[in-house]
Amino acid sequence: MKSFDFVQPRTVAEALAAWGPGAVWLGGGTSLIDLMKLGVAQPDVVIDLGRVAGMRSVDVQGDGAVRIGALVSNADLTRDAAFAARFPMVAEALLSGASGQLRNAATVAGNLMQHTRCAYFQDAGAACNRRDPGAGCDAQGGVGGGVAVLGASPACIAVNPSDFCVPLAALDAVVEVQGPEGGREIAMADFHLLPGDTPDRVTALAPGELIVALRLPAGADGFAGHSRYLKVRDRTSFAFATASAAAGLRMEHGRIAEARLALGAVAAKPWRVAEAEAVLIGQTPDADLFDRAATIAMAGAEPGDDLAWKIDLARKTAVRALCLAAAGTPARMPALPASVFAEPAGEKVHA
Amino acid sequence: MPDTLAQPMRFGSSSGQPVTRRDGIAKVTGDADYAADHSPSGMLHAVYAPAAIARGRVTAMNTVAAEAHPGVVRVITPANRPALQGDPADKSVMFTFRIEVLQDDTVRYAGQPVALVLAETLEAATEGARLLDPQYAVEVPRVTLADAESEPVAGQGFGQPADTTHGDVDAGHAAAARSVDVTYTTAAQYHNAMEPHAIVAQWEGDHLSLDVPTQAFALSCAGYARYFGIPAENVTIRCPYLGGGFGSKAIPAGPLVLAVLAARDVGRPVKLALTRKQMFGPVGHRGATEQRLRIGADGEGRLSVIDHDNVAETSTFDDFVEPAANASQGLYAAGALRSRHRAVRLDVGTPGPMRAPGEASGSAALECAMDELAEASGIDPLEFRLRNYAETEPGTGRPYSSKALRDCYLQGAERFGWSGRPSAPGTMRDASGLLTGWGMGTALFPAPMFAAQARATLKADGTALVETSAADMGQGAWTALAQIAADSLGLPLDAVEFRAGHSSLPDGGVAGGSGHTATAGGALHAAGLDVVRQLGEIAAADPESPLHGAGNAQFVARDGRLFVEGDEGRSDALADILVRAGGAPLTGTGRGARAPEAAAAHAMYSHGAVFAEVKVDPDLGQIRVSRLVGAFAAGRIINPKLAESQLFGGMIWGVSFALHEEAKFDRRTGRIMNADFAGYHVPVNADVPGLEVIMVHEDDPHVNPLGVKGVGEIGIVGTVGAIGNAIRHATGRRVRRFPIRIEGMLG
């Protein structure tokens, strides 16, 4: 791979000072290192955040919000039982992603920053507007699979591969950022960008900005009793989603008081549609109702060359996730988290 | 010659025992050294630049930039490639393919080496190769079976299957009361052993020393010798461990030969290890097939014809054609049998033998077609197969050397619970509401032998050294072969030192074709018996031995002692005989091979029956094989623990074939777009939650003195069809394209 400088700051301030054009942040490296080996990422400077202090804790704040340090590993977060109890769909999504080894290395902020697994983005010999603006998009008419059916543009049809981001979007998570201009917060819904004419701009981060924490706002744990993440894929583990959905319901007297629904693997960002959630409010849960919501969520989906089945699958995945959420969060995390083949749900927390 | 070999024979205390793998701890602690673990002093790293197009010509490369990169020592392109003494197209060594070693600027497949960079570090060599940035004159590539016309198979060599017809095929079709005419396709698959191909090459004068994984020491030595114009005995190969080969590591591959050439050119040791991505191209694969099966049965469900046509890919520069249609030979008692093959020349690396070549792909189609005909005939799939059970080899009429297939069917069905299977598809649901289906398939694989030699040396301390170059591919040869050797000498396993994995040892033959235990084990067994025979002569001539005077008797060794066969009262300790004779070690030699007349007299196969249960989500289409029961009869099982692992591995590969593996070619560029393990899927543990193997007892008096067949490949064979049939039973959908995916279950 291309030679690069390697720096290891000890504080956020040092990290920010080390940044310049051509620099990249290194978290767990599970996405970046692969891309460097492939010649897709060719940074001049790699800023290893592994020694930066103060970004490895999960804290409950005064108002009940939960703040997750950027360098908390995916594995550590899934092992935090108190966190899983409050945000089961987040824990389930994390556990359904990658493998145990990768979750040990990967950080939560890195999960937000991971690149698309579009085969043409990863192939340095292919045309890709995301890598090389104006080069074209060989994924169109290609064989990569896993392409967007929502929010795509003529310039790019890549999907965001993250599981974790889907429930984060559903729960209105907030991304805390520090940069050359100081700190700011970005709503999860605004963090990942649709490709439009600038597919090389993948997130809302400005150059030199660094994620320092994620925050689940106060009240986001109100869905804990009816909260699921479902991930459909050809392989039962260690595979990206073909379709996924995070569903959360807050129930009052048998009726849906509040609803959240986000879909994964269909677009360049987790897909959340306010109208799909609104249609559920005040209703009693049933499959037809959920089908109406899922249909609204998938409105405008483009089947492209041959993806009608994927639109159908994404809709049905959303319906199933809502049904599972309505049935109640399992008291124990299924042995196969988020899987179609999880054992029968068994004892519920609030059913 | 006698009709049967000496029987029955008990093989001491080791054979038949589930001995734990002797190399296991070394492997899990990292002590086991694989080829790429070696780094001799002064070594350079070699990295090749792979072609980014599949068809055309390299018009330019930036060698200046590559050579200027710090650490780069040399850049080798077709323009300056050192001479190779042998012809890259030479195929005089068995199993050899034409290799790509920078002989010209033509690009024949994506991933073909177009230049080699040598550098002081792996990083520098990698970056040097990237900086070459080859430019191409591109031609339209042909990478799928639809991209070119098919043609007859070129010749009659290795990988060029002949057409075979038994009986009157037209009459068979005419006689059918019910028939199916169906076409199945299978995807291109790539071996992808856990250990990628790697080599460390060192020259001393005209002697070549190699650390390289090989399934066949002698053939590999002969191959390298031919390319470099040196005698085969000048080539030394060390390969104590091999991280999987599956047919792709029998003979020198092009990139490895390039590394050897580079080492000679620069006068320093050179290491080259393929990346995972580079495994998709120059080192063989299982070619895609399109198979048409026309099979018919009479009103009683007896097959009148199996007519199997296969169209498979090969490369533009060699001729290996997947012999898939041959899977229909040898199995079912059809009145007429026909297997035909045609080839489509594509801009891909040459396909080659990959675990269960022919049978894996051919059986996938045949077993599904059999179920389609069973269903059309209204007969249970197992009953349909039993009704067409062949008592002698169909077509030839030869007797089977042994065939416990009926027991496989019955024991497997019993264990699986097959009798409770509803005949109508789409009628079973589990407690979670998942569609549930049961399917089965028959497994068949030839029981060949290659030729091997071995040496056994008994020492006066009562221990022995046994030697053969035999490769351990990870299947457990280190253990199973030592068990055979120990029993042949009548010694406990701990008293036997087994040496293997080095070309200076007696030729252990080929670890392939499911014939390794039979062949190398046969040689070890014969070497041990040679020692026993010599020891008997010494004892019989020794007045101090209790065996004195038993000169005409047969001797047997057991528990460290020598007995006169049939006379338990007379024995002598092996060590004592040697000590009295002066204490010098006693060496015997042996050969493992099958006499041609024995091979001709019988049809020799391993058999099995695989039963599969699948679950399919009725809405979401996700498929999982929840249970697999395989019952196999493969002659004598030397080590049931290792054999079970081999069969598990085969069955898991069957899951992989049925549901996962597929190289996805971009037809515009000819590149494989999923050339890594994130994109090219094989099953994970969560995909195989219920595996069970039954080893059905089988005595075979004909295959070889040990009665050993083989278990290396047969596990895949019935499994693929069983899964396809179970999916049909679960869902009512018959998918005729492998692998079967979610999208095939929707819409």
Three-state secondary structure along B237-287? Answer: EECCCCCCCCCCCCCCCHHHHHHHHHHHHHCCCEEEECCCHHHCCCCCCEC
Mutate to test the interface with A, among B131, B434, B622, B677 (most CBs of A within 10 A): B622
B127 and A1 in contact by Cβ < 8 A? Answer: yes
Domain that holds residue A25: 5-51
B contact residues 615-644, partner A, Cβ 8 Å cutoff: 615, 617, 619-624
For residue B598, name the pLDDT band (cuts at 50, 70, 90): confident
From the list A119, A238, A239, the residue facing B673 with the nearest CB is: A119
Work out the average pLDDT over B176-189.
98
Give residue-wise pLDDT tens across range A224-262.
999 999 999 999 999 999 999 999 999 999 999 999 999
Mutate to test the interface with A, among B666, B738, B741 (most CBs of A within 10 A): B666
Whether B746 has its CB under 8 Å from any CB of chain A: the answer is yes
For residue B8, name the pLDDT band (cuts at 50, 70, 90): very low
* pLDDT at site B10: 53
CA nearest to B53 within chain A: A125
Query: Between A and B, how many CB-CB pairs are < 8 A?
Result: 105
CA nearest to A314 within chain B: B620
Cα angle: A330, vertex A332, A338; to 5 degrees? 65
Whether A288 has its CB under 8 Å from any CB of chain B: the answer is no
Q: Is B412 helix (H, G, I), strand (E, B) or coil?
A: helix
- Domain range B24-29+450-593, CATH class: alpha beta
From the list A117, A239, A341, the residue facing B681 with the nearest CB is: A239
What DSSP string runs through B693-726? EEE-----SSS-TT-B---SSHHHHHHHHHHHHH
What DSSP string runs through A290-321? HHHHHHHHTTT---TTT-HHHHHHHHHHHHHH
Q: Is B403 helix (H, G, I), strand (E, B) or coil?
A: coil
For residue B74, name the pLDDT band (cuts at 50, 70, 90): very high
- d(C-alpha A98, C-alpha B697), whole Å: 42
* pLDDT at site B643: 97
Query: Per DSSP, which regions of B548-701 are E strands?
Result: 555-558, 561-564, 567-573, 586-592, 605-616, 623-633, 691-695
CATH of the domain at A312: 3.30.390.50
B415, two tokens: 């264990």
Burial class (CB in 10 A: 0-12, 13-18, 19+), B386: middle
Domain count, chain A: 2
* pLDDT at site A344: 57
Domain locations in chain B as residue ranges:
24-29+450-593, 358-448+600-745
B679 and A143 in contact by Cβ < 8 A? Answer: no
Which of B5-14, B400-409, B682-691 shows the lowest per-residue confidence on average (mean pLDDT)?
Answer: B5-14
- d(C-alpha A91, C-alpha A81), whole Å: 9
The whole-chain average pLDDT of chain A stands at 95
* pLDDT at site B551: 80
Q: Which residues pair with A247 in a beta bridge?
A: A228, A261
* pLDDT at site A350: 45
| ipTM computed for the complex | 0.96
* pLDDT at site B7: 43
Q: With contacts defined as CB-CB under 8 Å, which chain A residues touch B671?
A: 123, 125-126
Give residue-wise pLDDT tens across range A131-179.
999 999 999 999 977 899 999 999 999 999 999 999 999 999 999 999 9
A120 and B673 in contact by Cβ < 8 A? Answer: yes
Please say if the pLDDT value at position B1 is more than 50.
no
Query: Of A148-162, A335-349, B3-17, which has the strongest mean pLDDT?
Result: A148-162
Whether A134 has its CB under 8 Å from any CB of chain B: the answer is no
* Any domain includes A193: no
B684 and A316 in contact by Cβ < 8 A? Answer: no
Give residue-wise pLDDT tens across range B204-232.
999 999 999 999 999 999 999 999 999 99
Whether A233 has its CB under 8 Å from any CB of chain B: the answer is yes
Please say if the pLDDT value at position B6 is more than 50.
no
Q: With contacts defined as CB-CB under 8 Å, which chain A residues touch B669?
A: 125-126, 138
* pLDDT at site B600: 93
Please say if the pLDDT value at position B179 is more than 70.
yes
Sign of CA dihedral A184, A189, A194, A196: negative
Cβ neighbours around A44 below 10 Å, total: 13
Work out the average pLDDT over A9-28.
97
* Any domain includes A311: yes
B6, two tokens: 């000496």
Whether B146 has its CB under 8 Å from any CB of chain A: the answer is no
Please say if the pLDDT value at position B244 is more than 70.
yes
* Any domain includes A25: yes
Please say if the pLDDT value at position B603 is more than 80.
yes
* Any domain includes A32: yes
* pLDDT at site A348: 53
Give residue-wise pLDDT tens across range B474-501.
999 999 999 999 999 999 999 999 999 9
Whether A305 has its CB under 8 Å from any CB of chain B: the answer is no
- Centroid of chain to Cα A64: 23
Please say if the pLDDT value at position B719 is more than 80.
yes
CA distance A23 to chain B (A): 19
Give residue-wise pLDDT tens across range A26-57.
999 999 999 999 999 999 999 999 999 999 99
B contact residues 54-73, partner A, Cβ 8 Å cutoff: 70
* Any domain includes A180: no
* pLDDT at site A51: 96
CATH number for the segment(s) B358-448+600-745: 3.30.365.10
The whole-chain average pLDDT of chain B stands at 96
* Any domain includes A18: yes
CA nearest to A306 within chain B: B743
* Any domain includes A319: yes
For residue B11, name the pLDDT band (cuts at 50, 70, 90): low
Give residue-wise pLDDT tens across range A85-119.
999 999 999 999 999 999 999 999 999 999 999 99
Is B713 annotated as catalytic? yes
Identify whether the C-beta of residue A134 lies closer than 8 Å to the C-beta of residue B680: no
Amino acid, res. B745: M
From the list A235, A310, A317, the residue facing B687 with the nearest CB is: A235
* pLDDT at site B629: 98
* Any domain includes A240: yes
